[in-house]
Amino acid sequence: MPAISLPLSKMTLSQKMDVLEQVWESVVAKESRFESPTWHLEILKERESLVRSGKAKFSAWPEAKERIRKRVHASAD
């Protein structure tokens, strides 16, 4: 397979984040079973414990993604 070259040095942070999102969506859409690394379960358990104890909270993915997108756009300006 030929290498893919992107003009990364000319791309804005927002454009780079869009590329990452498109790649990730392509990976999970084509993989019928995506296996997380073993360390991931431990992190999830730790975060669940923080949420249950009230030390952390979580957001729905669309809300979190929009919040991240706003931060990226604000820092790129």
**pLDDT score of 10 more than 80:** yes
Report the 10 Å Cβ neighbour count for 21: 13
Q: Taking the complete model, does pTM exceed 0.85, yes or no?
A: no
Strands (E), the chain: none
Q: What is the DSSP letter of 53?
A: T
Mean model confidence pLDDT for the chain: 88
The model's confidence at residue 32, banded by pLDDT at 50, 70 and 90, is: low
Give the whole-number percent of the chain exceeding pLDDT 70. Answer: 95
Average of per-residue pLDDT across 16-28? 90
